Structure 1
Amino acid sequence: MTTNAIAAKGWRILTTLLLALYTIVVVYPLVWTVYSSFKTTEEFYASPFALPQGLSLDNYVNALARSRMAEYFVNSVVVTVLALILCNAAGFAAAYVMTRYRFRFLAVIKRFYIAGLFFPAAFSIVPLFMLLNQMHLLDSIAGLSIVYAVSAIPFTIYLLSGFLASIPKDYEESATIDGCSLFGVLIRIIAPMAKPGIITITIFNVMGFWNEYIYALSFISSEGKRTLTLGLAYLMEVQRYATDWGALFAGLVLVMVPTLLIYALLQNRITAGLNMGGLKG
């Protein structure tokens, strides 16, 4: 065996060991959280890292019923759906206009949207708070949905522009000659052809809206309007003194599982969509 072959084999072994170690570091906390959600408080204090003696769902019942996690779950679903509709509709339309049309100040507008990708969310909290207060949308599901949608529009435009730029204009011209309106061209011709990009950005936006915490903490004060992440933070404070660690871990699982399932089931679409968008952009 030559020196190069030995070195290559050594690098493969080292890479495999590093990837295995990284996998353990990432996966073990998730597995520990899941099986800890089935343990009683006594079992947790006796041995935090031991497996539960049984698979009781009492912790999930306590988290959903007593801590109102079911209500927070519904709020998160509503906020995510509303924000997703607003963001995808506005972002898709804006990306199409900036990709297909040439007009004055187009370059400036594009730079503003690109700058929005790097604008920290913390810097926008105070002006958004004052704006929502003046619009009487503070402490409301609708107001929070609008904030989520607006915050995700720059990335939506950035990703969709790569897909739309790759679609030949011949399809639009043919549809226009056949009597299709501009709105019809956008919905019937462009949207189906940009479906991979729309699916990709939808997945990213859903995971972003579902796990968002800063805006919800800043703009929601009523207990009945909290999202799941905000409700989990309050549950953590409550259970810290009530010592019901099982209910706390059950709440963590309720927040964690939807995004994990979405990514696990659709990871191929996410990877393919990003690669296509990068190549076509």
Structure 2
Amino acid sequence: MKLGKLLFKAGIRIPLLIWALIVIYPIIWMFLGAFKSNGEIFASPWALPKSFSFDNFILAWTEFNIGSSFMNSIFVTVLGTFLCLVFALPTSYAIERLKFKGSKILFNVYLSAMMIPMVLGWIPLFFLLLKFNMIDNLWALSLIYAVTQIPFSIFILTSFMGSIPKEMEESAAMDGMSPYGILFKIITPLVMTGIITVSIMNAVTFWNEYFMALIFLQTDESYTLGVAMDLMNKEAQYTNAWGALFAGLSIAIIPVLLVYAIFQRKIVKGMIEGAVKG
């Protein structure tokens, strides 16, 4: 019996371990390549660097405009995440708690919006932004990011709000608290796990987004990291700046790895709780 359980666990864990190695190894190789000179990369691409030099990081940050693109990505990620919460939190509360006429229809409309590919809206959005002279505008891109994630955010937040006893809100209303006071002083602290989960998932999505940034941004000064890394990749093919490219990729991936490392348990807990409560 014990041997059977051991074989069963090994049959599950060994494939997962192999898959983890397949995923992690290229990332480690990329980080090591960021500390190598071009000569080392071509001579011994799989070996450890002879000396850990930060020259490639400095070159990528300054000469290839990664520093400016990094700050642009932080701006659109933070602003987009904040705007998405501003829009989604009151809407989720209204749909889940106020139960006005048509609230279920509205909720289903938001759920349906999750199924619509964003690629269908890129051309109309481009001409809309062009009409309002908002092409190559990081504020406009942040707003678009926020709007695209509103359906997902509402789906998660309504699940959490549905688990809160209504008696708490009724008691607060009897004490004279306004609906906005109930939302921000009572509901929001109780659904903080859901808010953190939604914020992290949205932030990672905005940080990694490429196609809309490529379409709506047109100058080097406005490019986010995804677009800047694509241009850097094309340029590295002709200049052989592979070390700088690996350094730029490392700079782009480090914030995401840190977020997942710090908030991994909260993300998993929030997704599981949201699914169960929903």
TM-score bin, normalised by smaller chain: over 0.9
Percent identical residues: 36
SS of residue matched to 2:36: coil
SS of residue matched to 1:253: helix
Q: Pick the aligned partner of 1:112 from 104, 109, 112.
A: 109
Equivalent position of 1:165 in the other structure: 162
SS of residue matched to 2:80: helix
Moved more, 105-114 or 91-100: 105-114
Equivalent position of 2:149 in the other structure: 152
Deviation at 1:280, TM superposition (A): 1.4
User: Partners in 1 of 2:3 and 2:221 — Cα distance?
Assistant: 63
What letter matches 1:62 in structure 2? L
Equivalent position of 1:209 in the other structure: 206
Deviation at 1:5, TM superposition (A): 4.9
* 2:241 is equivalent to residue 232 of structure 1: no
Equivalent position of 1:40 in the other structure: 37
RMSD: 1.2
User: Partners in 2 of 1:275 and 1:165 — Cα distance?
Assistant: 15
Deviation at 1:152, TM superposition (A): 0.5
Q: Pick the aligned partner of 1:16 from 13, 17, 42.
A: 13
Equivalent position of 1:73 in the other structure: 70
Structure 2 length normalisation: TM-score? 0.97
Equivalent position of 1:141 in the other structure: 138
What letter matches 2:110 in structure 1? Y
Structure 1 length normalisation: TM-score? 0.96
Deviation at 1:76, TM superposition (A): 0.7
What letter matches 2:168 in structure 1? Y
What letter matches 2:147 in structure 1? V
* 2:96 is equivalent to residue 102 of structure 1: no
Equivalent position of 2:173 in the other structure: 176
Q: Provide structure 1 residue ranges, at least 5 long, that are not aligned to the other structure.
A: none
SS of residue matched to 2:162: helix
User: Partners in 2 of 1:116 and 1:87 — Cα distance?
Assistant: 15
Deviation at 1:6, TM superposition (A): 4.3
Q: Pick the aligned partner of 2:249 from 239, 248, 252.
A: 252
Deviations 1:67-123 (A, max 9, x none): 111111111111111111110110111111110122232222112111121211211
Equivalent position of 2:118 in the other structure: 121
Deviations 1:117-161 (A, max 9, x none): 121121111111112122222110111001100001010000111
Deviations 1:229-249 (A, max 9, x none): 111111111111100100000
Is the contact between residue 95 and residue 104 of structure 2 (CA under 8 Å) also seen in structure 1? no
What letter matches 1:150 in structure 2? V
Is the contact between residue 40 and residue 49 of structure 2 (CA under 8 Å) also seen in structure 1? yes
SS of residue matched to 1:223: coil
User: Partners in 2 of 1:96 and 1:14 — Cα distance?
Assistant: 45
Deviation at 1:275, TM superposition (A): 1.4
Deviations 1:41-64 (A, max 9, x none): 000010211111110000000000
Equivalent position of 1:279 in the other structure: 276
Equivalent position of 1:50 in the other structure: 47
Equivalent position of 1:61 in the other structure: 58
Equivalent position of 2:194 in the other structure: 197
What letter matches 1:159 in structure 2? I
Deviation at 1:12, TM superposition (A): 2.4
